[in-house]
Amino acid sequence: MTTHPSDNTVLISEVGPRDGLQSLKATMPTADKLRWIDALHSAGVREIEVASFVPARLLPQMADAADVVRHALTLPGLVVMALVPNRRGAEAALLAGVHKLTVPVSASAAHSLANVRQTREGMVEEVRAISNLRRDMAPHVRLEAGISTAFGCTLQGDVPEDEVIWLAAQCIEAGADESGLSDTVGYANPAQVRRLFRRLRAEIGDKAGAAHMHNTRGLGLANCLAAFDEGVRTFDSSLGGLGGCPCAPGASGNVVTEDLVFMFEAMGVRTGIDMHKLMAARAPLLAGLPGEPIYGMTPEAGLPKGFSQETQHA
């Protein structure tokens, strides 16, 4: 979190341009990405994970990462974030000039080995190396460690809570400025979300970071509400629910930004995002990905009669 949100303000961190696009077969043309990011920014989104710095042969969707970052840096007030899996990616992202790095660190031993061929301890050392690199190259850049599979894993099932909290603390010790928890596969429930974020805050205090929830089993917003109740004030989501490994047709992965913003705004919690402009940002997304299914109940149903963001905050 680059801001210090009060109790009545949350930061919506849009992950669509990275997490969303990365999981698709199609590659969105760079010009469309930029129009989409512009539309998000114009709606009031103030943190966007715009790219992933990984070898282009592995993820051709992210081959234009440096160009996308360069454009995003021109948008006033925007925190430009990139995912980096290792120090090589971090170096490229820092050279491109990002404001914030996020490193995924899997709490599931099985998932870590399968996904990045690293033990969890190995990933903590990667975080340390990235932190040192950041100190030397661009000390103002923030570093987040996102603890993935924090609520369960499709490979090993349960992930012990002690190991999740231990890993987050290790990442902070290794130099990360904040550590959030990700429900990578949509296994989380609200009781677990409350328990884990409470433990996380007890362990690392205000270095406790974002809630990255998935809607795979329909519990995405309920889990965000549970995290909000525990003091979490940064939430990852993606426009149209793009990405996040949907398991089945009709099953969105990432929490839908439109529905999440609607929930908070209707509650009187400020996001800084204009609902109408946010829904309008679906057009450039769809233009860049013709035929791709996108999700969102609020866009389909429309806003309630008489809904006004001014009224909600009065």
Cα(61)–Cα(57) distance, rounded to whole angstroms?
Answer: 10
Residue 251 binds to a copy of itself (criterion: CB under 8 A): yes
CB of residue 59 to a copy of itself, shortest distance in Å: 25
Place of tokens 């609520």: 151
222 binds a copy of itself (CB under 8 A): yes
Nearer of residues 13 and 298 to a copy of itself, judged by Cβ: 298
Candidate list 70, 198, 217, 270; residue touching a copy of itself; CB under 8 A: 217
- By CB under 8 A, the count of residues binding a copy of itself is 48
Q: Which of 45, 145, 176, 224 binds a copy of itself (CB under 8 A)?
A: 224
Of 162, 157, 105, 151, give the one whose Cα is nearest residue 129.
105
Options 157, 202, 206, 231; binder of a copy of itself; rule CB under 8 A? 157
Exactly one of 97, 116, 190, 292 binds a copy of itself (CB under 8 A); that residue is: 190
> Hey, what are 74's tokens?
């021109």
How far is it, in rounded angstroms, from Cα 63 to Cα 304?
Answer: 41
Pull the structure tokens for residue 192: 């677990």
Distance between CA 59 and CA 111 in Å, rounded?
A: 19
Amino acid making up residue 126: E
| Residue 226: both structure tokens together | 């549970």
Question: b/e for 202-222, b at 16 or more Cβ within 10 A?
Answer: ebbeebbbbbbbbbbeebbbb
Distance, CA of 252 to CA of 15 (rounded, Å): 14
CA distance 214 to 51: 19
Which one of 164, 211, 225, 227 is in contact with a copy of itself (CB under 8 A)? Answer: 225
171 carries an active-site annotation: no
Stretch that binds a copy of itself, among 99-107, 115-123, 222-230, 232-240 (CB under 8 A): 222-230
Please, which of residues 258-287 interact with a copy of itself by CB under 8 A?
259, 262-263, 266-269
Q: Catalytic amino acids?
A: 245
| Binding stretches for a copy of itself (CB under 8 A) | 152-158, 185-187, 189-192, 215-219, 221-222, 224-226, 229, 247-251, 256, 259, 262-263, 266-269, 295-298, 300-302, 304-306
